[in-house]
Amino acid sequence: MTNRRSFLRGAALAAPAALASPAIVRAQDTIKWRFQTYAGAALGEHVTKPIIDYINSAANGELEIELFYADQIVPTGELFQAMQRGTIDGVHSDDDSMASPTPLRQFGGYFPFATKHILDVPVLFNQYGLAEIWDAEYEKVGVKWLSAAGQDPCNFNTKKEINSLADLDGLKLYTFPTAGRFLAQFGVVPVNIPYEDAEVAVQTGELDGMAWSGITEDYTVGWAEVTDYFLTNNISGAWIGSFFVNQQRWADLPDHLKDLVMSAIEAGHTYRNQWYWGGEARLRATGDKLELRTVPADEWAQVEEAAVNFWDEIAEEGELQSKIVSIFREYNSTINKAGPPYTNG
């Protein structure tokens, strides 16, 4: 009996160590990812870093993600290829900037006049079928699409005043590939340079400004320091961007960590919704670095009409493009009928 009691007492004392051992094993087998965002460090602090911090804090050492900003591992235009081959495990970007090899490329970033406000993007993906399309198309090319969300509108911040469409002629602007293709018909000269070089390019005269963001980013990243005017007209109401992961790396991730990653991304979407929505209003109303300018609505209507023709051109490129354009048309018809606050007038 004495020996039996001694054995049980020894087993009880050993139990905590036995229970703790799986944590030690997990720490030794930590899954490590390298993740690059399209955003520079100042902007990435708000649009990407909160998600990565959330994951690293909550994963209990099972998953550690190292975050890199624009062009730090590879140029933004090579993000997709780098993720596909596993050089980078995950990416936050729009399809256009990362040169997606899918027909979805031109619909990411700023597809002209596809959206009016930031919340249009999750509605289009979750209620109008874009999520299923994005998921299926990226599965074909070895990448796991996780989630999309909206951000800021595409306005213009420039050294020169823009008061009419004629003022766009000859402007050298840093912008997205598809936005640049659309704006070229109004005389804009799209310039493709690394993200972090844009500010200096304005100072040296290589650029006249940017058609890249709303006013929140202009102040956050320093562009309001080198440009003088902000055009309240925009060519799109919200940026469309997504989170992606290398397909095999996602498949290898345990289900509970997949749930954690998705929770972090959704929390990040919520943060950006309020950060941009509030920032656009506050900085237009109280910002002291950029003077606001507006092209009259009847004249800007020419740009909106040009977008209708642009949509027709894109729809003719293929069955999938036609399907996506039809979704944009259906959604825009709905919100136009609904009126304010879904539309601007």
Beta carbons of 325 and 307 less than 8 angstroms apart: no
Distance CA 144, CA 135 (A): 7
Question: Is the distance from CB of 216 to CB of 239 less than 8 angstroms?
Answer: no
User: With the C-alpha atoms ordered 171, 176, 180, 183, is the resulting torsion angle positive or negative?
Assistant: negative
pLDDT greater than 60 at residue 119: yes
- Residues β-bridged to residue 174: 191, 210
Same fold, 30-151+238-281 and 155-237+288-338: yes
Residue 28 has a pLDDT of 55
pLDDT at site 343: 87
If you average pLDDT over residues 194-209, what whole number do you get? 97
109: left (phi over 0), alpha (psi -120 to 50) or beta: left
Residue 20 has pLDDT above 90, yes or no: no
74 φ/ψ angles, rounded to the nearest 5 degrees: -135, 160
Look over the chain and give the mean of its residue pLDDT values, rounded to a whole number. 93
Query: Residue 16: is its pLDDT beyond 50?
Result: no
Tell whether pTM > 0.85.
Answer: yes
Residue 17 has a pLDDT of 36
Mean pLDDT computed over 198-205: 97
Which CATH number, 3.40.50.2300, 1.10.1270.20, 3.40.190.170, 3.40.1230.10, labels domain 155-237+288-338? Answer: 3.40.190.170
The predicted-structure confidence for 157-167, as pLDDT tens digits, reads as follows 999 999 999 99
pLDDT of residue 345: 55
Which of 25-39, 80-94, 153-167 is predicted least confidently?
A: 25-39
Give the start-to-end residue ranges of the domains of the chain. 30-151+238-281, 155-237+288-338
- pLDDT tens per residue across span 204-263: 999 999 999 999 999 999 999 999 999 999 999 999 999 999 999 999 999 999 999 999
Residue 194 three-state SS: coil
The letter for the amino acid at 235 is I
Taking 3-state DSSP, the helix, strand and coil percentages for the chain, each rounded to the nearest 5, stand at 55, 15, 30
**Nearest to 150, CA basis, from 94, 196, 101:** 94
My answer on whether omega of the bond before 112 falls inside 30° of 0, hence cis, is: no
Would you say domain 30-151+238-281 falls under CATH 3.20.20.150? no
Q: What is the pLDDT of residue 138?
A: 98
Angle 130-134-137 from CA coordinates, rounded to 5°: 135
- Percent of the chain residues past pLDDT 70, beyond the cut: 92
The set of residues, in sequence order, having a beta carbon less than 8 Å from that of 341 and lying 6+ positions away, is: none
Look at residue 194 and tell me whether its pLDDT is greater than 50: yes
The tally of CA atoms less than 13 A away on the side-chain side of residue 25 is 6
**Which pLDDT belongs to residue 118?**
97
pLDDT in tens, 43-52: 999 999 999 9
| Confidence grade of residue 274 (pLDDT, cut at 50, 70, 90) | very high
Query: pLDDT above 90 covers what percent of the chain?
Result: 91
